């Protein structure tokens, strides 16, 4: 009998692996499209003075998603502004220092608000994080953001 995703065996791991691979490919495609829009040209496309900059490789980045950690290849580029100054391109969909998706951040805050201390978070969220790093400082920054949002709400 063939293994399916309900048996908890190899089929489940294969399905999750395929899903993570598809998500990784989709994230990379979104980043490439965003960079093409910023540059005004596709990869290796010859355009006149319309090009706003040039690609220069990719950088691997580990991103924690709701299906576990995945390593993506983020494209790099130099963008020139109207004054001729050049700067490193930064994506909007995946900001420069983002290491977790918003859904993972929400899960971390939910577990924290339920009363788990910062040390217990890693154990409580291990099925979600699947070996992805989670430092005490990252939790503290998330809780600090929550407090910043909570203060104005209390005063209204």
Q: Is the pTM of this model over 0.85?
A: no
Instruction: State yes or no: pLDDT of 1 exceeds 50.
Output: no
Show me where the domains of the chain are located: 1-96, 100-156
The structure tokens 């998330």 sit at 142
Mean pLDDT of the chain: 79
The predicted structure's pLDDT at residue 5: 38
- pLDDT tens digits, residue range 94-105? 888 888 888 888
- pLDDT tens digits, residue range 88-129? 888 888 888 888 888 888 888 888 888 887 777 777 777 777
Residue-by-residue DSSP string for 71-106: EEEEEEEEEE-TTS-EEE---SSS-TT--B-HHHHH
Rounded distance, CA 94 to CA 104, Å? 14
Q: Which residues contact 92 (CB under 8 A, 6 or more apart)?
A: 34
Q: Which residues contact 100 (CB under 8 A, 6 or more apart)?
A: 63, 64, 108, 132, 138
């Amino acid at each position: 009998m063939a293994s399916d995703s309900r048996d908890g065996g190899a089929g489940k791991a294969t399905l999750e692996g395929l899903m993570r691979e598809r998500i990784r490919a989709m994230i990379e495609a979104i980043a490439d499209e965003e960079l093409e829009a910023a540059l005004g040209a596709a990869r290796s496309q010859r355009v006149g003075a319309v090009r706003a900059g040039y690609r220069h490789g990719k950088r691997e980045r580990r991103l924690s998603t709701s299906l576990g950690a995945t390593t993506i290849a983020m494209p790099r580029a130099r963008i020139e502004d109207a004054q001729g100054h050049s700067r490193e391109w930064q994506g909007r969909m995946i900001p420069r220092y983002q290491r977790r998706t918003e859904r993972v951040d929400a899960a971390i805050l939910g577990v924290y608000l339920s009363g788990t201390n910062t040390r217990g978070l890693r154990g409580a969220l291990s099925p979600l994080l699947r070996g992805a790093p989670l430092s005490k400082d990252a939790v503290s920054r998330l809780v600090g953001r929550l407090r910043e949002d909570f203060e104005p709400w209390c005063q209204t």
